[in-house]
Structure 1
Amino acid sequence: MIAFLFPGQGSQFAGFLRTLGGTTPHARFAETIEEASDVLHIDVLSLDHADALSSTVAVQLSLLVAGVATVRALQDEGVVADAVAGLSVGAYGAAVACNALSFSDALQLLHLRAQLMESAFPHGYGMLAVSGLSERELNAVIANAHTQAAYIANLNAPRQIVVAGADADLDYVSKRALEAGARKAERLAVSVPSHCVLLDDAARELTEAAGKIAFRAPTIPYISNRGARPLRQADAIRTDLATNLRYPVRWHDSTIVLSELGARVLVEMPPGSTLTQLAEDALPGIAKVAIEQTSIASAAALIRARAAA
């Protein structure tokens, strides 16, 4: 069983759309970028620069395009997923990959999501990754810090957790977390406080918009962000996509669910390999393939070999 994983915001880097597929890019990459450009009425490659990627809108749209383009290229090589999961914005790529949502509708809904997030908090907020403390320990740090706006947002691993909030509060939490025994506390390349109550209003508006879009029952299991459970109904996926910006992402639990479903190869869509590294710690017995700057043909051969093994 092969599971496709879609990374979240923070994995991007300048030029990642232009380097998809390495030196021999698959035709599907250019086709998908052109399709997205037509839907959004912009040149999607114009989002793939350092200055542009300071925008939440540019980052989230670029990640969706990269994920869908890679899925299509892999499918052309005979590699298809048996289940999908995406971290935060990655859930939109997962929804397209399981056929619950069209690429065009995903682009437009995600565009609205990113705009709502960016307009709600144009500056002064972000996210902090803390390694070495448990959820209980980090909750205690936040409570004792008496912050105005700091919330647990992503549970990426039992002792790798992301906090969202205001810059000053995150600086204070970072200091207190290190004092409490954290190995590392570092800011992520995210300029909004995702996955917490601060985005409650944005989630309500996005839910209203999602209600006007056609969703279908997925053809393969889609693992939810909010509950880390396999979803097999259209409305359940609609709700997960519309509200995941408001609730913590239980990513570690999602990967455990994939293993329980029988996943034997986890394939991470570009860019980066963060999800692969997290899975290596959580699920050492399962094969992983991160499709970074490599040809799709080579990646497909590797996936097939590991699935057969």
Structure 2
Amino acid sequence: MLEDIDPDLKLKVENWTGVKLTDSLEGYQDSQQIQLSILLLQVSEVDQLKKMGWQPDLVAGHSLGVFGAAYAANVITKEDVFKLVSLRAKLMQSSYPEGYGMGVIVGLSRQEVAEMVKTIHTSENPVYLSNQNSELQNTLSGKLSAIKQVLNFATKSGATKAKLLRVPNPSHSPLMAKVANKMSQEITKLNFLDPDCIYLANNNGHPVKKAEEVKYDLANNLIHPVFWETMIDVALEYNPQISIEFSPGNAFTRLLKMKTDQIANIVLSEMSVSDADFLLNKWKG
């Protein structure tokens, strides 16, 4: 994943965080390595596009992606964003050693899933409705035993997909409060700037323009659902011409295409930054 990354930038990240990025399958079993490597890939792409003269009008990130979005909006320095993500990953890795995680349900409305969660959830067997990825794709977070009960319920109720995710903690639920508290303490020490473009917040999907609002979103990202469906609906109200999905993957472009065919799409995991620059010049004129 990091084979084309500037080695000087990679070395800086390792020095800032104290984490050796091995860029290997074994290394990516470690939460800090995978989160830092994804961020490094995205920051590198942001830097290259900005060097070519491109600036975003609007940014949106999903979960870990909020840190890349905040960096792209010039809210946070490069050093600080890597240190924050390193802390986030370390705290996540140690928060729930086993027995907790996430699941996904496709084909049922958020309200339908909410009713199932309400039926199963108890303080001893907690499960929460978490991310809203699309109208009919929602995630669950909590104790695996409770998640499995909801998934079974969803399958019997006609869900097209109901399965566990390979996530070792109950992200985007109140169970991550301790992580959020420590992130909040760390973020208060940092100097944030107001975003120089529209930043869409994970915690409610709304556009924010103040540094304190972005701080809250980054610090408390893991205790709130990601309202991606709402974020995209809000983004479309600004009539964007072009979307760019930063590496790795194309999942969010696929979700966007389900909403509209009126936007030109660039997926950086499928082309070089120079190819993206060519298309931007072609489409923007």
TM-score by length of 1: 0.86
Please state if 1:226 is matched with 2:194. no
Gaps of 5+ in 1: 1-15, 19-24
Alignment of 1:294-305 (within 5 A): 294-305=271-282
**Contact kept? 2:205, 2:230, Cα under 8 Å:** yes
- What is the count of residue pairs matched by the alignment? 283
The alignment partner of 2:278 has SS state of: helix
Q: Which moved more, 1:115-124 or 1:206-215?
A: 115-124
**Contact kept? 2:126, 2:143, Cα under 8 Å:** yes
C-alpha distance in structure 1 between counterparts of 2:268 and 2:198, whole Å: 21
C-alpha distance in structure 2 between counterparts of 1:167 and 1:96, whole Å: 34
C-alpha distance in structure 2 between counterparts of 1:188 and 1:251, whole Å: 18
**Contact kept? 1:127, 1:170, Cα under 8 Å:** yes
Name the counterpart of 2:105: 130
Could you tell me which amino acid in structure 1 is paired with residue 216 of structure 2?
T
Aligned CA-pair RMSD: 1.7
Could you tell me which amino acid in structure 1 is paired with residue 106 of structure 2?
S
Name the counterpart of 1:105: 80
Could you tell me which amino acid in structure 1 is paired with residue 91 of structure 2?
L
**Contact kept? 2:187, 2:219, Cα under 8 Å:** yes
- Give the CA deviation at 1:164: 1.1
Could you tell me which amino acid in structure 2 is paired with residue 97 of structure 1?
A
Could you tell me which amino acid in structure 1 is paired with residue 200 of structure 2?
I
Name the counterpart of 2:126: 149
- Give the CA deviation at 1:98: 0.5
1:211 to 188, 192, 202: 188
C-alpha distance in structure 2 between counterparts of 1:254 and 1:172, whole Å: 29
Could you tell me which amino acid in structure 1 is paired with residue 66 of structure 2?
A
**Contact kept? 1:225, 1:249, Cα under 8 Å:** yes
2:161 to 164, 184, 190: 184
C-alpha distance in structure 2 between counterparts of 1:136 and 1:307, whole Å: 40
The alignment partner of 1:78 has SS state of: coil
**Contact kept? 1:268, 1:275, Cα under 8 Å:** yes
Please state if 1:17 is matched with 2:23. no
The alignment partner of 1:192 has SS state of: coil
The alignment partner of 2:46 has SS state of: helix
Name the counterpart of 1:257: 234
The alignment partner of 2:103 has SS state of: strand
Q: Which moved more, 1:257-266 or 1:222-231?
A: 257-266
2:215 to 209, 223, 238: 238
Deviations 1:44-85 (A, max 9, x none): 2x1x32222223222221221111111111223333211111
C-alpha distance in structure 2 between counterparts of 1:30 and 1:55, whole Å: 21
C-alpha distance in structure 2 between counterparts of 1:17 and 1:151, whole Å: 35
Name the counterpart of 1:72: 47
C-alpha distance in structure 1 between counterparts of 2:134 and 2:6, whole Å: 32
C-alpha distance in structure 1 between counterparts of 2:170 and 2:84, whole Å: 19
The alignment partner of 1:217 has SS state of: coil
Could you tell me which amino acid in structure 2 is paired with residue 244 of structure 1?
N
Name the counterpart of 1:38: 15
Please state if 1:85 is matched with 2:60. yes
C-alpha distance in structure 2 between counterparts of 1:95 and 1:67, whole Å: 12
**Contact kept? 2:104, 2:138, Cα under 8 Å:** yes
- Give the CA deviation at 1:303: 3.2
Identical pairs, percent = 30
TM-score by length of 2: 0.93
Question: Structure 2 vs 1, CA of residues 226 and 268 (structure 1 numbering), >3 Å: closer, same or farther?
Answer: same
1:55 to 21, 30, 44: 30
C-alpha distance in structure 1 between counterparts of 2:261 and 2:167, whole Å: 29
Name the counterpart of 1:22: none
**Contact kept? 1:141, 1:180, Cα under 8 Å:** no
C-alpha distance in structure 1 between counterparts of 2:101 and 2:34, whole Å: 14
- Give the CA deviation at 1:169: 2.0
The alignment partner of 2:32 has SS state of: helix
Deviations 1:197-241 (A, max 9, x none): 101121112111110111111111111110211111111111110
Name the counterpart of 1:4: none
The alignment partner of 2:97 has SS state of: coil
**Contact kept? 1:157, 1:282, Cα under 8 Å:** no
The alignment partner of 1:279 has SS state of: helix
Gaps of 5+ in 2: none
Name the counterpart of 1:169: 146
Question: Structure 2 vs 1, CA of residues 176 and 286 (structure 1 numbering), >3 Å: closer, same or farther?
Answer: same
